[in-house]
Amino acid sequence: MTVVLPVAETLDDRGFETLVSGWAGAEGGRALFDARHVRWVSPYGILGLLAAGAAWQERFGERPLLEPPESKEVASYLGRIRFYEHAHELFDFQGHVRKRAAGESDALLEITPVRSHQDVHDVVDRVRDRAAAILGKRLGYPPPAVLHFSVILSEVCQNIVEHAGTDGWVSAQTYNWKQRLGRQVVVIAVMDVGMGFRGSLAREHAQRYGDRWSDETALEAAFLHGVSRYRDPGRGQGLQGIRKQVLRWNGFFTIRSGTAQIAEVPDWIDKQPIASGLPDFPGAQIQVVLPQVVPPGGGD
Amino acid sequence: MGDPATGMTGKVVDSVVHTSVATFYSNLVTRPTGRAVRSAIEEQLQGGRGRCVSVLDFSQVGVLDFSCADEVIAKLLRRYLRSDRPSDAFFIVQGVLEHHRDPIDAVLRRHNLLLVAVESGRPALWGPAPGRLRAAWDCLDRMGRLGASEFASTYGVNQATASSWLRRLVNWRVAVPESFDSFSSLPAVLSRRDGGEAPEAGRYPAAAEEMAPYGPEPSGGDGHPRPSGDTDPYPSAPGGSKPLPAY
């Protein structure tokens, strides 16, 4: 039996939630991720598709099928950000797919696997020049912003290496959030399908929480209180540092893990800081959105 | 890492070790990188040089993340704050830039540590120091060298209290004891290598090669003034496995 999981036309954070609903409700079999009608993807959404494929294989032991987007623009973009290279490791494809499009990618950071600390170094080294150009020229950030941005990237990627217990991916892109914000943004997405925050923290902290221990309390502990699974008191500072920097830039920072999601929410987005009871999905899915700087008196 | 060097630094310390922390990586990210950098710094400080000042140069460091700052700065300071520290080293960081401040400050606050840092040529006390301790450090930094009686008259406190505050700076490893009741700031110790008495903000050994050999340790003992008993130095004088200081 083949289970068809339709991929939303707009594959962003909301599109990912739709995908997760289908994933969580499935009972096994051969999955077909039907992405033919995808018209737009965000870094979070496209990593979400990879994560859903990996999670399906992990859960049911069967390699899923993928129907790639029919839109030439989307297909070309996915080639440039190296989606197909990574998707080939997870999915069997139906239809013809160009493995890699010709031409230079305009992405801030193409889809990049995160498996080791060396990968974190590579990401930080690779992104610097592009980040300087994008943050400075297009988003109006001051020159040191690229260094703060690199710290954010480094810490979110290390979250995979240190806590997930499996590999993950990172990607970053800049685009115009016309509808939501009317400004350009940089979006960083980092995902894995590992043990998640509850799994990572359980051994050290679950007992203390008793019946209240859940994905939600685990996220609160890590995100709000800097709790870590390690006894080393220096652990857990990365997320706190990211929160502080994202707040300074009036950005949006969210982590989804298991059935819960927690966020640092700026005034320009209508979202609850904590959500629970979401469809269960393994690992951690992180998104950072940094908006274009509005000059004084520029308004929104 | 830069070559360790022994320098003429007045009568307070036996050597100055100058280390460029960006020798292995220009971007200090990840914990393993931080551990490697810390190990290299500690290796330079081995070998029984007596009391020394370790100058950690961040001027070539690009990105410094929180994890690496924790491994390099916090774990180094914590180790040398303990009574069983491997050597009698004091630390000062120089060449720090605005973007280094956040991660360093975050790890100092997380662990309740203090550090003398030189940013834009000016020394400053970083970390969560209580007001009166910060005032004592500021005064010492201005004067370069300070006796408890001098400090007492400046601040209108009795000598025992003044002495206590200055000793606390020593216990935090952000001031150097010269004698029982006389103390030097770390920048002043470094400035005095040229034979001058008064410290000058922003003047530090530019390179290890500039430093000349120096003679025996003047203090003879362990270099830590003993509390007189009429005050309550905090953190307490080194005492083995005591917990780290907290306010």
Choosing from B107, B128, B149, the residue where a domain stops is: B128
The per-residue pLDDT of chain B, averaged, comes to 77
Tokens of B241: 């496995």
Q: What backbone phi and psi angles, to 5 degrees, belong to A255? A: -130, 130
- Domain with B195, as residue range(s), is 129-214
User: Quick one: pLDDT at residue A295?
Assistant: 77
Confidence band of B216 (pLDDT split at 50, 70, 90): very low
Q: Is residue A88 over pLDDT 80?
A: yes
Choosing from B128, B152, B180, the residue where a domain stops is: B128
CATH of the domain at B195: 1.10.10.10
CA atoms within 13 A on the CB side of A297: 0
More confident residue, A75 or B7: A75
User: Quick one: pLDDT at residue A102?
Assistant: 54
Looking at the structure, do residues B107 and B84 belong to the same domain, yes or no?
Answer: yes
> DSSP for A121-141?
HHHHHHHHHHHHHIIIIIT--
Residues of B within 8 A of A162 (CB-CB) are 31
Looking at the structure, do residues B119 and B192 belong to the same domain, yes or no?
Answer: no
Hey, CA dihedral for A78, A80, A82, A84, is it positive or negative? positive
- Residue B7 in any domain: the answer is no
Mean pLDDT for B139-143 is 93
Mean pLDDT for B148-162 is 89
CB B60 within 8 A of CB B26: yes
- Residue B144 in any domain: the answer is yes
- Which helix (H) or strand (E) segment is A284 a member of? strand A281-291
The total of structural domains in chain B comes to 2
User: Quick one: pLDDT at residue A298?
Assistant: 63
Q: Quick check: A147 contacting B, CB < 8 Å?
A: yes
pLDDT tens string A14-28 = 999 999 999 999 998
For B178-182, B195-199, B219-223, which range has the lowest pLDDT when averaged over its residues?
B219-223
Choose from A117, A119, A147 for mutation: most chain B CBs within 10 A. A147
User: Quick one: pLDDT at residue B195?
Assistant: 56
Confidence band of A104 (pLDDT split at 50, 70, 90): low
User: Quick one: pLDDT at residue A1?
Assistant: 81
- Residue B231 in any domain: the answer is no
CATH of the domain at B120: 3.30.750
Burial B110-124 (b: 16+ CB within 10 A, else e): bbbbbbbbbbeeebb
- Residue B143 in any domain: the answer is yes
Chain A segment 156-185 residues within 8 A of B by beta carbon are 158, 161-162
For A91-100, A137-146, B7-16, B34-43, which range has the lowest pLDDT when averaged over its residues?
B7-16
Q: Nearest CB to B111: which of A117, A148, A234?
A: A234
Confidence band of B92 (pLDDT split at 50, 70, 90): very high
Q: Is residue A98 over pLDDT 90?
A: no
Looking at the structure, do residues B135 and B162 belong to the same domain, yes or no?
Answer: yes
Looking at the structure, do residues B21 and B92 belong to the same domain, yes or no?
Answer: yes
More confident residue, A198 or B218: A198
Q: Nearest CB to A151: which of B103, B110, B111?
A: B103
Residue with tokens 């652990």: A235
Q: What is the DSSP-derived secondary structure letter of residue A97? A: -
Mean pLDDT for A107-125 is 93
Closest CA to A160 of A134, A195, A212: A195
The per-residue pLDDT of chain A, averaged, comes to 91
Strand bridging mode A183-192 / A168-177: antiparallel
More confident residue, A213 or B15: A213
Confidence band of B209 (pLDDT split at 50, 70, 90): very low
Query: What's the pTM value of the predicted model, to 2 decimals?
Result: 0.84
Looking at the structure, do residues B57 and B142 belong to the same domain, yes or no?
Answer: no
Confidence band of A233 (pLDDT split at 50, 70, 90): confident
- Give the amino acid at A132: A
pLDDT tens string B224-246 = 333 333 333 333 333 333 333 32
For A39-43, A127-131, B51-55, which range has the lowest pLDDT when averaged over its residues?
A127-131
Burial B221-238 (b: 16+ CB within 10 A, else e): eebebebeeebebbbeee
Looking at the structure, do residues B67 and B142 belong to the same domain, yes or no?
Answer: no
Q: Quick check: B111 contacting A, CB < 8 Å?
A: yes
